Structure 1
Amino acid sequence: MPSDAYGNYVDGTWTESDSGDTFELRNPADPDEVIGRFQYSTTADANAGVEAATAAQPGWAEVPAPERGDILKETAKRLEDRKEELTKTLSREEGKTLSEARPEVQRAIDIFYYYAQKTRDYRGTVKAASGTDSNLYTVQEPVGVAALITPWNYPIAIPAWKLAPALAAGNAVVLKPASQAPNVARKLFECLDEAGVPDGVANFVTGSGSEIGETIVQHDDVDAVSFTGSAEVGSHVYDSATDGKKRIQAEMGGKNPTVVMPSADVEQSVDIVGAGTFGVTGQACTACSRAIVHEAVAEEFRSGIVDYAENIDVGPGVEDPGMGPHVSESELQGTLEYIDVGKQEGATLEAGGGRPTGDEYADGYFVEPTVFSGVSPDMRIAREEIFGPVLSIIEVGSFEEAVEVANDVEYGLSASIVTDDHSEANRFVDEVEAGVVKVNEKTTGLELHVPFGGCKRSSSETFREQGEAAMDFYTISKTVYEGY
């Protein structure tokens, strides 16, 4: 392969696509810069990945779990050794600032260490038998072959939190990364290879979701499918997988609220909402896009969040500004279109609203942090996922109205409240319709050892990711009755 072309990883070998075609990956802060060329794979390549995984999986399942853990631990070490390289790679291809990319890489490292340890203490349970001279216990066995489809917005963390538990449990995998940001995931597979993962156990195939994703989801030898991405695509993946009687988990979009109550410290509220909205350029499924603010503090909050947005330094991620670019021109245009929708719907544009001016912004996919006030709950900008740094301020007159507005959308991924009232905090936890609920914290940011997932249109509501819940997805329980 040419030096600027990167291959698929199938059956332990880096290889060209069956078609010989490639696609270019460009820097979103400077689209004239080509980062590399990746395989525009075919159905044959996807099938080859599944066939390699199918052949390798029984042998991998027979490897003692602690030995599998040793390979995951070695992978974590190699990721750690390359942390700064991976940070810069992620920033150049996806647009995140270095300060955002670095903790994402660390998260991938931590995930591999975590599941390396889990191989030593996740096996099954012993129960009390009803009769004498008998044992009753369960064992966990791998599902088989898992198809993993990952998005571009967390291009190493999400592959890591799917790969590591799948491999720890004894499954073989085929991963299809998003075409907008495949390079850091490719380097993750380099680390797996160097750590000694057996040929065929972990496979990496790039290309079109409609061809590669569809092929691996529908393949007869695939037993489980894990998808993260948009609600539209996720719903299709869910239908395709369940038609084939496969185990499925799908985590999708969000329209995440932060409720601000009169008892809250408004300055703290501004920091929480600002970080949750404008961090990672708003390109997170858990990003805050609705500030549901009690009328008693609405004006003070509005003034504070406008000042917050206007003081964010926008620039190339590798220069570590306050906010980087969108990942692609299509994502940028989608955000700009929603800003136009907000104006047309009669919301008041308080900050941002367009592309930043200046020669340094002429070519990159940059957008200004944007704030709308005067937003009503029935407006599109208050109901539809934007996936950009756009905040809608919705005023309410009571806690009850705040919860009603928070729940009055199709999504239910992450929700937070800022309050010093213990009763309000606990009621919010009980009443809000979301899979992740936070009190006095931003909607973004997750711990790796607890379950993650949403409800309503945000999730298939089948299996959760992360923590031991991920191991549950990648294993099947066998109950053993033993008389002696």
Structure 2
Amino acid sequence: MTTDKQVATYRNYINGEWVASSSNGVEASINPANHREIVGYVQKSNREDLAQAVAAAKQAQKKWKSLSGTARGDLLFKAADILEKRLDEIAETLTREMGKTLPEAKGETARGVAILRYYAGEGMRKIGDVIPSSDQEALMFTTRVPLGVVGVITPWNFPVAIPVWKIAPALIYGNTVVFKPAQEAAVTAAKVIECFHEAGLPGGVLNMVTGDGEEIGMGIVEHPDVAGITFTGSDRVGKLVGQAALARGAKYQLEMGGKNPVIVAEDADLDQAVEATISGGLRSTGQKCTATSRVIVASKVYDAFKEKLVAKVRQLKVGDGLQPDTWMGPCVSEKQLGTVLSYIDKGKAEGAALLCGGKRLDAPGLADGYFVEPTLFEEVKPDMVIAQEEIFGPVLALIKVDTLQEAIEIANDVRYGLSASIFTKDIGSILAFIQEIEAGLVRINAESAGVELQAPFGGMKQSSSHSREQGQAAIEFFTAVKTVFVKP
């Protein structure tokens, strides 16, 4: 690491060393709360850098997979301890680079620690089964083997948790990794990789290359020595990743967009539903794939719910995530701010009624950041753009319905199927929702956002490639089954 006017430059991590890109190009990572502040410089790498990283990972994989699961787990435990010791520093960097509030950043970093420890323990768990053979003299069993080199491509919205929940299982099951973080959060990613380096991970086992998505991201996908690709990002890019991986027979895993509904039934606890709608939809500035986007409310309680929701949203403090009284930070970039504002304009143009918010904030202290007011629309029709497309910002669309069945039909009437929640006290309504909702994550009387690390996570329809991440489900992607028949 070098410094230029007290701003650090973060290099690629290849074969256990921090190295500059062969292009010698760097790119500034900007604080979205104040675009005049540079958080750090990261490499603008090319395919030559990527080739070096893949070669290092391929060379290291044979020795890495030969280690016992316990030995690999010990290194993950060490990385977890180091990440925990550096939690405050890394969380502050996360807030400065991505914009979410410091308490959220600390929570995410703590989750990264827990994920590492969870997968470190996976090194002691079973990786196969004994199967009865029709030959009484034979022994037949299955075991699991690593894929080889795995490419990890991650977004900017969870720059600690998402990389860790992909890298940790990849490593514990014997794969080596080439990691491409989003440029908007590459400084935070580099600090996470430093924890693995300090833990003593052998050279080449984990490599990081930063750069443009088309250059480095697609370079990973197209590289013949990368056996598997795990990707989280937009559905548009995810489809390109899947098509390119399929074309050469590589295994791939895609987690993509969401247009997540919350249904508020007429018997719901309205205060609970309001709090969960705000938390699920507006925390992290709505920049979560599981964030609530559509609020489908029973007509009998619509006015009461709307009144409570608007009152609470108007009280939210928007500002720099490092300030202790800030509830919601900025959009991650000027580009993302522009996207959010364009969807707000589309909502107005289509005839939705703006209840509150809807403007960029440019008051003193905010003018240099990418801040937007938390925004509520009502009189939203299910076929409007703001009710169909992922916005990835703090925008909620209220839709009034007369029956639970109508609510479920509207909830399902999008191309996504990531998460969904309902607020009701009626067991019949709960069971109907569980049965009929088209979502991979179903939550009852809880916000749509969030999943526990030990549970499978993934979506239906256009939200994923129908695989699952996290928990013990991760072994299904990061390994292949080998069936063994032994006869004397």
Q: Shorter-chain TM-score: what band? A: over 0.9
Question: 1:412 maps to which residue?
Answer: 417
Greater mean alpha carbon deviation, residues 168-177 or residues 184-193: 184-193
Q: CA RMSD in A?
A: 0.9
Question: 2:392 maps to which residue?
Answer: 387
Name the CA distance, whole Å, in 2 between partners of 1:122 and 1:55: 27
Work out whether 1:133 is the aligned partner of 2:137.
yes
Correspondence 1:35-74 to 2 at 5 A? 35-74=39-78
Amino acid aligned to 2:339: G
Question: 1:273 maps to which residue?
Answer: 277
Query: What SS does the corresponding residue of 1:199 show, helix, strand or coil?
Result: coil
Work out whether 1:400 is the aligned partner of 2:411.
no
Name the CA distance, whole Å, in 1 between partners of 2:413 and 2:152: 31
Cα distance per residue 1:86-137 (max 9 Å; x no partner): 1101111000101111110011100100000001113211223334233221
Correspondence 1:291-330 to 2 at 5 A? 291-320=295-324, 321-330=326-335
Cα distance per residue 1:218-242 (max 9 Å; x no partner): 0010100000000000000000111
* 2:231–2:253 Cα contact (<8 Å) kept: yes
Name the CA distance, whole Å, in 2 between partners of 1:49 and 1:297: 57
Work out whether 1:207 is the aligned partner of 2:211.
yes
TM-score in terms of structure 1 length: 0.99
One of 89, 112, 115 as aligned partner of 1:85: 89
Amino acid aligned to 1:422: I
Cα distance per residue 1:365-423 (max 9 Å; x no partner): 00101000110101100001000000000001101100000000011100000000111
Cα distance per residue 1:186-210 (max 9 Å; x no partner): 1111111111111001000000000
Runs (4 or more) in structure 1 with deviation over 4 Å come to none
Name the CA distance, whole Å, in 1 between partners of 2:291 and 2:248: 33
Amino acid aligned to 1:167: L
Query: What SS does the corresponding residue of 1:75 show, helix, strand or coil?
Result: helix
Question: Could you tell me how far 1:472 is from its partner in structure 2?
Answer: 1.6
Segments of structure 1 that go 5 or more residues without pairing to the other structure are none
Work out whether 1:471 is the aligned partner of 2:475.
yes
Work out whether 1:230 is the aligned partner of 2:234.
yes
Segments of structure 2 that go 5 or more residues without pairing to the other structure are none
Question: 2:257 maps to which residue?
Answer: 253
Name the CA distance, whole Å, in 2 between partners of 1:73 and 1:43: 33
Question: 1:356 maps to which residue?
Answer: 361
Work out whether 1:155 is the aligned partner of 2:159.
yes
Amino acid aligned to 2:258: G
Cα distance per residue 1:298-317 (max 9 Å; x no partner): 10111111112111100101
Question: 1:290 maps to which residue?
Answer: 294
Amino acid aligned to 1:206: T
Question: 2:457 maps to which residue?
Answer: 452
Cα distance per residue 1:56-104 (max 9 Å; x no partner): 1011000111000000010000001101111101111000101111110
Query: What SS does the corresponding residue of 1:236 show, helix, strand or coil?
Result: helix
One of 190, 201, 204 as aligned partner of 1:186: 190
Work out whether 1:334 is the aligned partner of 2:339.
yes
One of 237, 245, 264 as aligned partner of 1:241: 245
Question: 2:25 maps to which residue?
Answer: 21
Name the CA distance, whole Å, in 1 between partners of 2:232 and 2:216: 15
Greater mean alpha carbon deviation, residues 352-361 or residues 64-73: 352-361
Name the CA distance, whole Å, in 1 between partners of 2:455 and 2:226: 27
Greater mean alpha carbon deviation, residues 1-10 or residues 389-398: 1-10
Name the CA distance, whole Å, in 2 between partners of 1:84 and 1:202: 24
Query: What SS does the corresponding residue of 1:136 show, helix, strand or coil?
Result: strand
Correspondence 1:100-139 to 2 at 5 A? 100-139=104-143
Cα distance per residue 1:15-50 (max 9 Å; x no partner): 000000000011110110111111000110011111
Name the CA distance, whole Å, in 1 between partners of 2:217 and 2:366: 34
Cα distance per residue 1:341-382 (max 9 Å; x no partner): 111111110010102342111110001010001101011000
Name the CA distance, whole Å, in 1 between partners of 2:224 and 2:487: 37
* 2:101–2:327 Cα contact (<8 Å) kept: yes
Question: 2:348 maps to which residue?
Answer: 343
Name the CA distance, whole Å, in 2 between partners of 1:411 and 1:123: 33
Question: 2:448 maps to which residue?
Answer: 443
* 2:228–2:250 Cα contact (<8 Å) kept: yes
Work out whether 1:12 is the aligned partner of 2:16.
yes
Name the CA distance, whole Å, in 1 between partners of 2:475 and 2:118: 12
* 2:159–2:189 Cα contact (<8 Å) kept: yes
Name the CA distance, whole Å, in 2 between partners of 1:214 and 1:122: 34
Name the CA distance, whole Å, in 1 between partners of 2:72 and 2:124: 10
Name the CA distance, whole Å, in 1 between partners of 2:312 and 2:287: 18
Name the % identity: 47
Query: What SS does the corresponding residue of 1:423 show, helix, strand or coil?
Result: helix
* 2:2–2:9 Cα contact (<8 Å) kept: yes
Query: What SS does the corresponding residue of 1:354 show, helix, strand or coil?
Result: coil
Name the CA distance, whole Å, in 2 between partners of 1:188 and 1:250: 22
Name the CA distance, whole Å, in 1 between partners of 2:286 and 2:245: 30
Question: 1:434 maps to which residue?
Answer: 439
Name the CA distance, whole Å, in 2 between partners of 1:193 and 1:143: 23
Question: 2:220 maps to which residue?
Answer: 216
Name the CA distance, whole Å, in 2 between partners of 1:441 and 1:163: 29
Work out whether 1:371 is the aligned partner of 2:376.
yes
Count of matched residue positions in the alignment of Structure 1 and Structure 2: 483
Question: 1:172 maps to which residue?
Answer: 176
Name the CA distance, whole Å, in 2 between partners of 1:122 and 1:5: 42
